[in-house]
Amino acid sequence: MRRVRRFSLSYAHFGPWGAVMVEELVTAGVALASVGTAYAACAARVVKQYERGVVFRLGRLRSTVRGPGFTMIVPFVDRLQKVNMQIVTMPVPAQEGITRDNVTVRVDAVVYFKVTSPAEAIVRVEDYRFAVSQMAQTSLRSIIGKSELDDLLSDREKLNQGLELMIDSPAVEWGVTIDRVEIKDVSLPETMKRSMARQAEADRERRARVINADAELQASKKLAEAAKEMSEQPAALQLRLLQTVVAVAAEKNSTLVLPFPVELLRFLEKAQQSAPSAVPPVPAVAPEPVREQLPAQGAP
């Protein structure tokens, strides 16, 4: 009763229906404020710096792409779908295939891509991540079949460029750009690894033999030149022999056997042959016949 009295005293000039009208107005204001707050809460959206917002109004794509920051949509009419614009790193599962030279290998790779057109990435393909993954797997198997084993092991840069081109061609229509493609690992069968090890060992042995043969050829040429020079100067051969003796005698734990050089014998032989030719030959005198004197006839 006290509350009614105070109310009636305060608003007595409104009449008996004044209090009811004020209460209804206050209730309506509170309801409108609640509805406005709920509407703002439903309409408010926040787009991050690395995202873009694509709006569909009653299922129809809006031409304006919402940028980063605070944005508003019409609740229950608009639907905002966010698209990540960052570079996505997607590993490609290992694919098994047969190379052009009939070798079975397993190759895995990694793909770096990003979305350049958010609207096309949402409208043109159902799931652009899954689409890029499947395209990367099929392109990797195609690259394996077109390449040889040596290309997979040594010329990966060229294969990476070809793989990137094969993936990027259809991805452009999806609003996706392939930034880079890298082949990570090439797994070979154990038998192929052993065969390659034997081949590498044989190749190294062949090169070692070629190097040794080349060294022997050069050494023989030098020895031939040295022999030619020493043949003109026999004393040089004796000096070389003495140098060899000195080099061998430097090691005290060895026994030195000095052979008599054949060249010295030849030198003495030549000297002996040239000695008689220096003395002039003495002409041989024929012996005179002995004549016996007979006594003269009539001698006593």
Burial class (CB in 10 A: 0-12, 13-18, 19+), 143: buried
pLDDT on residue 277: 53
pLDDT for 46-66, tens place per residue? 899 999 999 998 888 888 888
Asked if pLDDT for residue 228 goes beyond 50, the answer is yes
Residues for the chain: how many in total? Answer: 300
Asked if pLDDT for residue 19 goes beyond 70, the answer is no
Binned at pLDDT 50, 70 and 90, residue 225 comes out as: confident
Asked if pLDDT for residue 5 goes beyond 70, the answer is no
The two structure tokens encoding residue 96? 């098994």
Which of the two residues, 83 and 195, has the higher pLDDT score? 83
Pair 95, 144: CB distance under 8 Å: yes
Binned at pLDDT 50, 70 and 90, residue 8 comes out as: very low
Pair 55, 62: CB distance under 8 Å: yes
The two structure tokens encoding residue 101? 């030279």
Please tell me the distance from the alpha carbon of residue 31 to that of residue 8, in angstroms, as a whole number: 25
- What is the percent of the chain with per-residue pLDDT over 70, rounded to a whole number? 78
Asked if pLDDT for residue 72 goes beyond 80, the answer is yes
pLDDT for 200-209, tens place per residue? 889 889 999 9
Q: What order of strands is seen across the sheet that includes strand 78-84?
A: 60-66, 51-57, 78-84
Pair 181, 167: CB distance under 8 Å: yes
Asked if pLDDT for residue 211 goes beyond 60, the answer is yes
What are the structural domains of the chain?
A: 2-83 (no CATH), 87-188 (3.30.479.30)
pLDDT for 111-140, tens place per residue? 999 999 999 999 989 899 999 999 999 999
pLDDT on residue 276: 56
SS3 readout for 240-282? HHHHHHHHHHCCCCCCCCCCCCHHHHHHHHHHHHHCHHHCCCC
pLDDT on residue 299: 43
pLDDT on residue 133: 92
Please tell me the distance from the alpha carbon of residue 158 to that of residue 146, in angstroms, as a whole number: 12
Q: What pTM does this model have?
A: 0.59
Token pair 């460029």 is found at 161
pLDDT for 234-276, tens place per residue? 777 777 777 777 777 776 666 766 666 666 667 667 777 776 5
Binned at pLDDT 50, 70 and 90, residue 171 comes out as: confident
Asked if pLDDT for residue 9 goes beyond 50, the answer is no
Binned at pLDDT 50, 70 and 90, residue 178 comes out as: very high
pLDDT on residue 230: 75
pLDDT on residue 115: 93
* Lowest-pLDDT choice from 176-190, 214-228, 271-285: 271-285
113 strand-pairing partners: 88, 178
pLDDT on residue 53: 92
Average pLDDT, rounded, for the chain: 79
